[in-house]
Amino acid sequence: MAARKGCTPSQLALAWVHHQGSDVCPIPGTTKIENLNQNIGALSVKLTPEEMAELESYASTDDVRGDRYPQAMANTTWQNSETPPYNVMSYSIFIWSVEC
């Protein structure tokens, strides 16, 4: 499909994420200007509902099996951490910035 659309596979993947809705924004990591320019080019890739359905048919979520993380790492995820509530963290950062 990337060849049909005249874009790279990476641009197609970013375009697919971008087309998921206004509350979803791809944040690709890059360290090279040429890759950044390619990532920006993904914004010009327009996908029709039919193309979105075709892309989604390539990897059905029904095919996903198993846990997201290996069991050895399960206790290190955010769900199992003891991170303080956001309002406590914001207050601590504010106090720190005022003192500096």
pLDDT of residue 29: 85
**8 burial type by CB count under 10 A (0-12 exposed, 13-18 middle, 19+ buried):** middle
Reference 15, options 64, 57, 5; nearest CA is: 5
pTM greater than 0.85: no
pLDDT of residue 26: 86
pLDDT of residue 15: 95
CA distance linking residue 70 with residue 40, whole number of Å: 34
pLDDT of residue 100: 46
pLDDT of residue 99: 52
Kindly report the CA angle at 60 between 73 and 9, in degrees rounded to 5?
90
List per-residue pLDDT tens for the chain, 100 residues long. 999 999 999 999 999 999 998 888 888 888 999 999 999 999 999 999 999 999 988 877 777 777 777 878 777 776 666 766 666 555 555 555 555 4
Do 69 and 62 contact (CB within 8 A), yes or no?
A: no
